[in-house]
Structure 1
Amino acid sequence: MPDVLLPFRSLAYNNAWANHRLLAACARLAPGELEAPRTGFFPSLRATLNHILIVDWFYVDALEGGTLGPAAWAEREPCRDIDSLRAAQDAVDRRLLAVVEGLAPGDLDGIVRVHRGSRIQAERRDRLLLHLFEHQIHHRGQAHAMLSGSSVAPPQLDEFFSEGEAPLRAGEFRELGWTEAQIWGTGQA
């Protein structure tokens, strides 16, 4: 019987891994480059990365059953430096991993209540998770493009745990405290 949770689990881990890689690259930026004006939906790398973080806070809180709602974006750039961005993004990525790891197959079509201020939106859990992953990919792509105009080469983000990345991935997974078995399930490579 196929593991219906495997795609969500692998997306959550890949999401956290891509954030780790992107923010590690941003940590190597020269002073002033994180907040330097750039072309994009948000005017800088710092603004783009903060947007990713804020929306993660909003949706992960809803997935956890919380009521944070629009208070998540009360401050447009809550993290002013790369160290605080990395710590905050890592924390919310780990919360998302815990949500996904805690799911049972029947939970995917369950309803999540998303507090939107003046109303509460009822959304299926699987749809909300897919929306969140798409949001991350969309804005990480913008940040990736912004890095192209900086002193730091953008990291590879679209390998999705490919075999060719195994040696680099092993070191990063040690940093993150993960194993292949966690991501793919027992007995899977």
Structure 2
Amino acid sequence: MRRHFQMFADYNRWANALVYEACAELTEAEYRADQGAFFGSAHRTLNHLLCADRIWLKRVTGSGEAPTALDTILHEDFAALREARIAEDQRIIDWIDTLDEGKLAASFTYSPVSSPTVITQPLGPVLAHVFNHQTHHRGQVHMILTSLGRPSVVLDLVYFLRGDGKRWL
């Protein structure tokens, strides 16, 4: 499973870079316009993804800063948000590299931001959720881009594996 999650961390970095590259072509008004996605705009959705990753990494590593709300705007400025995303993707890659099968099978306990309950789960399925969550919201940004008449961004894992991700085959 470790290699599987290493591949997903690398794919996550690749896909995020493509989404940010496409969003960099938007006007400021387009970038901030509510297009009906769960978090409204590309700006708010990209901030949410960074929030969620920081929350999960804080839970599983015990380090780093994590917002207390899922809709926190961590960066108003696109360039600063992009730099933070690049750094967070590298942080995820570096942390995944420290895991072994024992750590992936081990359980940890946390409380969701949206509910004050206590949950104990094994790390492996939680990591699957983290990467699936990224894919879900990147898909929403993709919808925002296409609704604005922008070119479709090819984000499928198979395209990553045929190009930048060949080493995972």
TM range (shorter): 0.7 to 0.9
Structure 1 CA distance for aligned equivalents of residues 20 and 83 of structure 2: 10
Summarize the Cα distance change of 1:75–1:159 in structure 2 as closer, same or farther, 3 Å threshold.
Answer: closer
User: Any gaps of 5 or more consecutive residues in structure 1?
Assistant: 170-178
> TM-score under structure 2 normalisation?
0.86
Q: What percentage of aligned pairs have identical amino acids?
A: 29
For the aligned residue pairs, the C-alpha RMSD in angstroms reads 2.3
DSSP-derived class of the 1:29 partner: coil
Q: In the alignment, which of 75, 86, 92 is matched to residue 90 of structure 1?
A: 86
- DSSP-derived class of the 1:73 partner: coil
- Letter aligned with residue 40 of structure 1: A
Contact 1:112–1:125 under 8 Å retained in 2: yes
1:106-145 → structure 2 map (5 Å cutoff): 106-116=102-112, 118-145=116-143
Structure of greater Rg: 1
Whole-Å separation in 1 of the counterparts to 2:40 and 2:129? 23
Gaps of 5+ in 2: none
Amino acid at match of 1:15: N
The letter of the residue matching 1:37 is D
Equivalent-residue separation in structure 1 for 2:133 and 2:126 (angstroms) = 10
TM-score by length of 1: 0.78
Partner of 1:172: none
What are the Cα deviations for residues 22-62 of structure 1, in whole angstroms up to 9, with x where unaligned? Answer: 01110111231110121211111111111111101100111
| 1:43-58 matches, cutoff 5 A | 43-58=40-55
Query: What corresponds to 1:8 in structure 2?
Result: 5
